[in-house]
Structure 1
Amino acid sequence: MKNILILGGTGFVGAHVCEKLAREEWDITVATRRENNARNVMHLPGLTVQECDIHDEAALTRLAKGHDAVVNLVAILHGDKQSFQRVHVDLPRKIAAACAASGVTRLVHVSALGANPQQPQSAPSMYLRSKSEGEAVLLAQCSALALTILRPSVIFGHGDKFLNLFAAMQQVAPFVPLACADAQFQPVWVEDVANAVVKALERTHPGAQTYEACGPEVFTLKQLVEISAKLAGINQGKGRPVFSLPHWAASLQARTMEMLPGNPLMSRDNLDSMKLPSVATPGAPGLSALGIEPAALQAVAGDYLDEGSPWHSLLGVRKRANWK
């Protein structure tokens, strides 16, 4: 039996990772600040929920003890420089120290496509710079571990806040004013990312390996908005008119959204991130190197965006994943 500690196991990707590990009959510990946050995974066999402030290095070290591996899925999309530093740089540093102190031999860290640990300051946004710095920290401190870094493009799947958001917007809006309409993405299915995490956990030899997690197709942001409407059947599949915003208008839109309560739908830092295409690097190891054939977006997204589909439910999507 393998003992895995998952940080960020209550989130979108984390829930899928937990389910796959439970299916493999691994013992799983999910760390969370409040137990109630883990209600979507606490029913899984072999899974224990442990309340812990993972930013407390001493508490994290105690929690890591007795585990064979740690999976770090903790990330934020919005925030200021200090917030990105705390989550994407300081936390990986604490995780590395906890692994060393607790005898953990394997670490899987989910980063982001576009991260560049060799030149962190070359990244166009605070998000990507902090992701780059976090990778650099792990590469410097984890030479004795079997370290696997996964860099996904934007992740889609049932319950995502990506295609579902675009479809929901077009249910009520007569048109879509879109920033960075030509930004490029290579979307990857959440089930493929979860499979990659499980495959990475099988690595036992010390040393670092990085894989880019991308789907088989490249889309512009405008194309993804249009596809979401088509698959959801909005306006008889024609969707709403999409208008590309010039840079000044996009920046104004993002600044306005930042002022609204809660997490913004878009921030100026998001705009900066989209200056860099979120697509696979030619020649870089990808999902195929892990024995995974990535799923095409439209084949999967049609199952959960189309409410009339017999597969329209999380159970249906999970059954499909089991058959893959």
Structure 2
Amino acid sequence: MRILVIGGTGFIGQHVVAKLAARGDKVFVPTRRLRHARDLMVHPTVTIMPGDVHDESVLNSLVQGMDAVINLVGVLHSPSGQPYGPAFDAAHVKLPAAIARACATHGVKRLVHVSALGASANGSSQYSRSKAAGEAAIAEVAAQTPELCTTIFRPSVVFGPGDKFMNMFAGLAKWFFVLPLAGSKARLQPVYVEDVAQAIVNCLDQKGTCGQTYDLAGPEVYTLGELVALAAKYSGHPRPVVDLPMGIGRMQAWFFECLPGEPLMSRDNLDSLQTDNVSDHPMDPILGVVATPLEAVAPRYLKSY
């Protein structure tokens, strides 16, 4: 198959691209920054394509001639807005809509889109509301294009080597003797990045996944505080986790937002924690994946701390 992987240089994307290449697919990965695609160049069937997918003319040229398109683009932070900020709007709403339209225009039969567990038009955070809007935009195009087979995935927090979740807290534990944390009682069901990637690849061969939305979550539910404590423990720096009142947590997040670079935590991230990120149907059997426990993987890649 000729498969365009948008967001293929990201955390999940690199695992998806590797699995597609391993089975012999011809994979095309667009990027605005070629240095981000260095690790993908080792795969002989992968082609790196310079281009800005947010430019619809570029996007249409990329999509043309593909058998399938996989969209993995996502951002965690955005300036505030209603119902969601501009960065969320661009990455989670406008881009998926443009991808779906391009697929419909050029006769691409298969579109796989990665959203997020807890996506809801009435969600507590801008992030969750924008993810829901992106799903709705794809559904609108699919309703008008019966030949377009779409599958949407909603992963929980994704862990694995190179993640920005467990690694972040392991890094903090190296420098701080106590880890103050707002929202520590929020419940999460983290899922292994290899399982997410395998589910995405497997669905391409499963006609029964057309028009479906699947949750992707791990086998265990943890509180955020428990996950932070595990990250500290596995890194070799066990630390007590102190629950902060949400008001103080928001002040802390606002401070992080004022610092240069990507914030460790934003106020919208805290808003997301107001809703438990868990699933009653964490891994549908049709996807052919058995969820991997956190404890089987995290100690290996966090020990470097």
Equivalent residue, structure 2, for 1:109: 113
Task: Report the Cα offset of residue 200 of structure 1.
Answer: 1.6
Indicate the RMSD between aligned Cα atoms, in angstroms: 1.4
8 Å contact from structure 1 (residues 231, 305) kept in 2: yes
Equivalent residue, structure 2, for 1:87: 91
Q: 1:102 to 1:205 in 2, by over 3 A?
A: farther
- The one of 194, 212, 215 equivalent to 2:215 is 212
Over the matched positions of the two proteins, sequence identity in percent amounts to 48
With the length of structure 1 as denominator, give the TM-score of the two structures: 0.89
Equivalent residue, structure 1, for 2:128: 128
8 Å contact from structure 1 (residues 62, 102) kept in 2: no
Matches within 5 A, 1:1-324: 2-80=1-79, 81-116=85-120, 120=121, 122-143=122-143, 144=146, 145-204=148-207, 207-234=210-237, 239-280=238-279, 282=280, 284=281, 286-307=283-304
Q: 1:185 to 1:205 in 2, by over 3 A?
A: closer
Which segment drifts farther, 173-182 or 33-42? 33-42
| Structure 1 unaligned spans of 5+ | 309-324
Q: 1:159 to 1:273 in 2, by over 3 A?
A: same
Q: Following the alignment from structure 2 to structure 1, what is the Cα–Cα distance between the partners of residues 19 and 284?
A: 17
8 Å contact from structure 1 (residues 287, 294) kept in 2: no
8 Å contact from structure 1 (residues 231, 306) kept in 2: yes
8 Å contact from structure 2 (residues 233, 239) kept in 1: no
- Aligned residue type for 1:109: H
8 Å contact from structure 1 (residues 106, 203) kept in 2: no
8 Å contact from structure 2 (residues 283, 291) kept in 1: no
| Structure 2 unaligned spans of 5+ | 80-84
8 Å contact from structure 1 (residues 228, 305) kept in 2: yes
Task: Report the Cα offset of residue 211 of structure 1.
Answer: 0.7
Matched residue SS, 1:39: helix
Task: Report the Cα offset of residue 159 of structure 1.
Answer: 0.9
Equivalent residue, structure 2, for 1:313: none
Q: Following the alignment from structure 1 to structure 2, what is the Cα–Cα distance between the partners of residues 166 and 260?
A: 18
Task: Report the Cα offset of residue 41 of structure 1.
Answer: 0.7
Q: Following the alignment from structure 2 to structure 1, what is the Cα–Cα distance between the partners of residues 7 and 139?
A: 21
Task: Report the Cα offset of residue 35 of structure 1.
Answer: 2.0
Task: Report the Cα offset of residue 205 of structure 1.
Answer: 6.7
Matched residue SS, 2:54: coil
With the length of structure 2 as denominator, give the TM-score of the two structures: 0.94
- Aligned residue type for 1:45: P
Task: Report the Cα offset of residue 36 of structure 1.
Answer: 2.2
Q: 1:206 to 1:153 in 2, by over 3 A?
A: closer
Deviations 1:36-78 (A, max 9, x none): 2211112212000001110111211111111100000001000
Matched residue SS, 1:55: coil
